[in-house]
Amino acid sequence: MKTQLAPESVRETSVPNLKKGDFIVNLGEILEIDELTNLYSIVILRNNQKQVFTFNKNDRLLLRKKASN
């Protein structure tokens, strides 16, 4: 019996594939992305505040698909 670990509305991606507007699970919507030498600096809207997170280029994150209108 195969178990589904994540719902269909969630997908995994690497940090270089992130786009403005993506929603990182448990963090929030991406507002800005800056590529640094060894890192990515990501500005996320979380709790109605802009917060900056840094990720290594080889990190993987879970994204929630946008709700279709």
Q: Give the model confidence (pLDDT) of 3-46 as tens digits.
A: 455 577 899 999 999 999 999 999 999 999 999 999 999 999 99
Q: Decide the pairing of beta strands 49-56 and 23-24.
A: unpaired
Domain residue limits at 54: 10-64
Whether residue 20 lies inside any domain: the answer is: yes
The answer to the question of residue 35 being in a domain is yes
Q: Is residue 2 domain-resident?
A: no
| Total domains in the fold of the chain | 1
Q: Token match 């940090």: residue? A: 15
Poorest-pLDDT segment among 1-10, 34-43, 48-57, 58-67:
1-10
Report if residue 38 sits inside a domain.
yes
Output helix, strand, coil percentages for the chain, rounded to the nearest 5. Answer: 5, 50, 45
Asked, for residue 29, whether it belongs to a domain, the answer is yes
Cα-based angle 54, 37, 63 (whole degrees, multiple of 5): 40
* Contact by Cβ (8 Å): 46, 39: no
Which CATH number goes with the domain that contains 22?
2.30.30
